[in-house]
Chains A and B, each alone.
Chain A
Amino acid sequence: MTSLATYFSMGGYGGFVWPAYALTAVVMVGLVVVTWRGLKAREAELKALQELMPGRRGRTHEAQDQ
């Protein structure tokens, strides 16, 4: 138990080391979450749009000329 506590105290610098790592983790996870949510939102939006356009367009434009 004491060894764990000494480890976390980081030779007295725990108050600086851990916040630094925590902040980095929060920013990295935050970036991933925000970015991933954005992607999912766009995908959903696009899908909704394409479903609302029956037949006329949608996924078939490559088939039309040019």
Chain B
Amino acid sequence: MTEGPLSSTFSADGLACVRGERVVFAHLEFRLTSGEALFLLGPNGSGKSSLLRLLAGLLKPAAGRLAWDGQPVAEDREAHAARIHYVGHHDAIKPVLSVLENLRFWARLHDPEAGDARAQAALERFGLWHLRSIPGKLLSAGQKRRLNLSRLLAAPAPVWLLDEPSVALDKASVRTLEAVIAEHRAQGGMVVLSTHADIDLPDAGTLYLDRFAPRPAEAAEAWI
């Protein structure tokens, strides 16, 4: 696999997130090492998606910092982007491209060296290989989600950030996802995910976001 050092750490210190002039969470911290998984829990609006976007680098923290092996992530955005896979609410599938073309594009964009063998293996794993030449517009919601998840395997990256990955998935596919995550962790990968449905990850840590909700006074503080 591509993990350099045997064990890496991904950590957050005093992280705060401001969305639309509101402090969503503050003083958030966690520490994740290779092979670990982290569940994000919390009610709607507690900032699970915001935290994942923040970890991915789509959002900039209002305060605090993210670090990889102690090095601030903000110092090298591209290196951080190479380390992560982000699965958000949208599946980013072009209706006129075939399943394989869709996957290949994202795999090569993430890693220009990514070979077709990996793409094939990824599609086979998620049960889409027989649909490889079907255009994206014909896929069901569950198939689209599985295609999106195939990106995780088509180009390697140590950190997976999954925002409700089980949405639209049937039971069998959720089991596949669990198995894929387990293998990823066994190879030294990290996973951070939020979910409403049950995804079973053995000995995964949990992060309750409502614990980092700002105190009422602080919430409006951003502008006062």
Contact = CB atoms under 8 A, between A and B. Distances in A.
Are A and B in contact, CB atoms below 8 Å, in the complex?
A: yes
A64 to B, nearest CB: 5
B211 to A, nearest CB: 16
Contacts, number: 14
B89 interface: no
Interface in B184-221: 215-218, 220-221
Contact of B224 (A56, A61, A64, A66): A61
B222 to A, nearest CB: 12
B218 A66 contact: yes
A66 B224 CA distance: 13
A57 interface: yes
B218 A56 contact: no
A22 to B, nearest CB: 40
B81 to A, nearest CB: 33
Contacts of B218: 61, 66
Which of B217, B218, B220, B221: most chain A Cβ within 10 A?
B217
B15 to A, nearest CB: 16
A60 to B, nearest CB: 8
A65 to B, nearest CB: 8
Interface string A45-66: 0000000000011001100101
Contacts of B221: 61
A57 B215 contact: no
A30 B45 CA distance: 42
A60 B218 CA distance: 11
A66 B216 CA distance: 12
A60 B212 CA distance: 22
Contacts of B224: 61
B156 to A, nearest CB: 42
Contacts of A64: 215, 217
A57 B216 CA distance: 8
Nearest to B224: A61
Contacts of A57: 216-217, 220
A22 B221 CA distance: 45
Interface in A9-49: none
Interface of B: 215-218, 220-221, 224
Given A57-B216, A61-B224, 12 more contacts: A56-B216, A57-B217, A57-B220, A60-B217, A61-B217, A61-B218, A61-B220, A61-B221, A64-B215, A64-B217, A66-B215, A66-B218
14 contacts: A56-B216, A57-B216, A57-B217, A57-B220, A60-B217, A61-B217, A61-B218, A61-B220, A61-B221, A61-B224, A64-B215, A64-B217, A66-B215, A66-B218
Cβ-closest 8 pairs across A and B? A61-B217, A64-B217, A57-B217, A57-B216, A66-B218, A61-B221, A56-B216, A61-B224
